[in-house]
Chain A
């Protein structure tokens, strides 16, 4: 199946979705609610559209959380399997936040399991002590941002990504992470300060 990613926030009327599979195409303009209800009845094509609708957003989050494309794909794949298994427990109109919560949990589990990530962090910590190079020093600016994200605590990283990369409200973030709004605000604020310290003034 070949597809072009769509913006999950776009309404059905502006949805762009090119798909070689006609059965899937027939679902493309459906709302999340319709798709969840159809998927619950065993329609895997409907679930395929939900996967296509959310996967890029989930993968982006998982990649920043786990620091590796492969680990991100594994975690998100696992999350989708769990989402499908538990569809009966999902309020269809809240599918986005509910499935995101499962992705967040899978990433937490994956991060706990990966010793290498802690090792990498400790290596980066040493790099941070001598200062991350200024972006003007080379083309590795993007890499420096990734490193700075990696140097945040897991909770700060989670909050920063949901707030400033996914543009979620604090209430949405609270529903996804299970943390209070006040705690999330504190984490985001600390994450921003730390990022700014690491990356310097001029971007």
Chain B
């Protein structure tokens, strides 16, 4: 096979990547709208100075995003059918950070970019069972009964 034919076959394979999911455009446009709103607030704040700071959320909206560190959350649960990580960094939302199952089916993992600070979290298995992170030897009792793990990000 000539170099050219070989290259065409490899390129064709790489071009056949799966496209985006149906929600991608909606997420992008949502992010664009939020960005537009932030810019409007920023302009408003600059114009009105101190008064703007007293208005809802302006101080927060003007704050520059903190640089992040990527943290991987992972747990071995071959028998589980769904695992999410739930904690201070995602408003304790059960659905926001699903873990992906590894190819061999045993390990679940997700990567999250976190700003510096201390975070509490736990894994939610199959929507009903809470687990502290077995990889983390340190956990604390939650005010709500189950132990939660902690991660400290620089």
Q: Residues of A at under 8 Å CB distance from B?
A: 1-3, 5, 44, 47-48, 51-52, 55-56, 59-60, 63-64, 69-70, 73, 76-78, 80-81, 84-85, 113-116, 141-142, 145, 149, 161, 164-165, 192, 195-196, 199, 201-203
The chain A residue with its CB closest to the CB of B5 is: A203
The chain B residue with its CB closest to the CB of A78 is: B31
The chain A residue with its CB closest to the CB of B11 is: A164
Pair B10/A203 contact, Cβ less than 8 Å: yes
The chain A residue with its CB closest to the CB of B110 is: A70
> Hey, which chain B residues are within 8 Å of A1, CB to CB?
25-26
Pair A60/B15 contact, Cβ less than 8 Å: yes
Pair A77/B27 contact, Cβ less than 8 Å: yes
The chain B residue with its CB closest to the CB of A69 is: B18
Question: By the criterion of a CB under 8 Å from any partner CB, how many residues of chain B are at the interface?
Answer: 33
- Shortest Cβ distance from residue A190 to the other chain B in the assembled complex, whole angstroms: 14
> Hey, which chain A residues are within 8 Å of B14, CB to CB?
60, 64, 145, 149, 161, 164-165
Interface contacts (Cβ under 8 Å), in number, total 93
Pair B29/A145 contact, Cβ less than 8 Å: no
Secondary structure dominating the interface of A:
helix
Within 8 A of A (CB), among B11-40: 11, 13-15, 17-20, 22, 24-29, 31-33, 35-36, 39
Pair A114/B70 contact, Cβ less than 8 Å: yes
Q: Residues of B at under 8 Å CB distance from A?
A: 1, 3, 6-7, 9-11, 13-15, 17-20, 22, 24-29, 31-33, 35-36, 39, 68, 70, 72, 100, 111, 113
Pair A64/B17 contact, Cβ less than 8 Å: yes
The chain A residue with its CB closest to the CB of B26 is: A1
Given contacts A2-B22, A51-B25, A114-B70, contact A85 B35 (CB under 8 A): yes
Given contacts A1-B26, A114-B70, A116-B70, contact A60 B17 (CB under 8 A): yes
Cα A63 to Cα B15 with chains together (Å): 11
Pair B11/A73 contact, Cβ less than 8 Å: no
Pair B25/A52 contact, Cβ less than 8 Å: yes
Given contacts A114-B70, A203-B6, A203-B10, contact A59 B26 (CB under 8 A): no
Cα A146 to Cα B70 with chains together (Å): 23
Given contacts A85-B39, A149-B14, 4 further A-B contacts (CB under 8 A): A55-B24, A59-B20, A116-B72, A165-B11
